[in-house]
Amino acid sequence: MPFSFHRLDIPDVVLVRPARLGDARGFFMESWRRSSYLAGGIDAVFVQDNLTRSGPGVLRGLHYQRPPHEQGKLVQVLRGRVFDVAVDLRPHSPTRGRWVAWELSGESGELMWVPPGFAHGYAVLGDGADVAYRVTTEYDPSSEAGVRWNDPTLAIPWPLAEPVMSERDRGLPLLADAEAAG
């Protein structure tokens, strides 16, 4: 199988390790094959691809879309490294309000599946990063929402003391307020 699937502490968030074929020229790898992902327990149909380029010290998130436009995301770092975080916001989930994180890098080629109902964000480690992600629902500005990155309830140990962020992300609500609005 060209992929291995590893469930993280929140089992619906999955680390995907693609097989790489390499030689002196570089490498080849598949990042998505529907039949393999189905066999690995991920039943996703992607409708939009996104790409971000971020400089050193950038933190993006924690973003999500409210129902009925919630998005599943398959996140991949093409260049650089990020501390990638998923926060469970699903109303009836036993892990609601918990988070998981993993360091993704262009070097490792690992991807992270973040299912619908999760807030997602990442902090750039090192000199910068290009992050690509596929989503299961098209972006809908009226459904856009988020949770504050440094919410003390979540206590995420971000690896950046003073991140570079958008004003919008700095002003996102705390988890308790975001949940009430969702």
Dihedral angle, C-alpha 151, 154, 157, 163, nearest 10 °: -30
Angle among Cα 89, 12, 39 to the nearest 5 degrees reads: 150
3-181 falls under which CATH superfamily? Jelly Rolls (2.60.120.10)
Cis peptide before 159 (omega within 30 of 0): no
- Mean pLDDT across 67-88: 97
pLDDT at 155 over 60: yes
- Check residue 182 and give its pLDDT: 42
Q: Which of 37, 64, 122, 133 is catalytic?
A: 133
Q: Which of 63, 64, 120, 122 is catalytic?
A: 63
pLDDT at 181 over 80: no
- Find tokens 């969702």 and name the residue: 182
- Residue 139 known to be catalytic: no
Is residue 89 within 8 A of residue 117, CB to CB? The reply is yes
- Residue 133 known to be catalytic: yes
Q: Write the pLDDT tens digit of every residue in 26-64.
A: 989 999 999 999 999 999 999 999 999 999 999 999 999
